[in-house]
Amino acid sequence: MDRWHGHVALVTGASKGIGEAIVKNLVNNGLKVVACARDMDLLQVQLVAAAVEGMESNPSVRRVCGTFYAHFSGMNKLAESVKDFPGEILVIQCDVSKQDQILAMFSEIQKRWGGVDVNVMGLCLCTQEAVKSMRSRGVDDGHVININSLGGHRVGKAHFYSATKFAVTALTDGIRWELRGIKSKIKISEISPGLVQTHFHDKQFGGREKALEMYNAGKVQGPLKAEDIAEVVQFLLSTPPHVQVHDVLMRHTEQEV
């Protein structure tokens, strides 16, 4: 991971679960991480803004698209939890389904840190802008990492969910072909985990208790942890520049399906 020290990584969906675990791992390994999330607590953001009102020269707080992002401002638990790590974190509120917010985010990253070298968990427009950022600065050893699912390789009862994940599989392979077509050495990989214990299932099953019941029930016994996926991200980034790991399929040893 030494070659990534000081490089800029963008992690979307960073406020909780897999994204949060990846952010902590990368900052701990000395990267400058842009932690992007849609559902940060706006009240906390406003309190931070009020606390630094009139301090225009303070580099820790900026205004972007009517929202605020903070750099080690104590805005949220994520920034606080990694403040003693060797890397840096930039927390940005951005809805990655909205093009204007994505473009504004990349513009601010460009001004702040020069651009993006690693794109984790971003698809379509995020990937397009990340690759554009890399190539504009002559970065030819960057890495795009998509978080997919085993559902992107086989169809279960949640077939509509699988359809979206099959799209991730196709996009990842298609972007790899495009990068090879322009003779770029930028790599793209995806991680396809089975069941992972995150807040996603709390919403899906109507609360933490029901999610825990599901985790401990029969065939899906033994979920992975978000940190397991973060360690695979670290592994992918640790591979030599000439090694292309395209897809990592992983599940807990006790998960049967």
- Known catalytic residues are 161
d(CA 60, CA 44): 15
114 CB contacts (<8 Å, ≥6 apart)? 8, 137
What are the tokens at 200? 């996603």
| Share in percent of the chain as helix, strand, coil (round to 5) | 45, 20, 35
Please work out, in degrees rounded to the nearest 5, the angle formed at the alpha carbon of residue 142 by the alpha carbons of 7 and 187.
Answer: 150
Contact between 192 and 250 (Cβ < 8 Å): yes
d(CA 103, CA 99): 6
d(CA 41, CA 64): 16
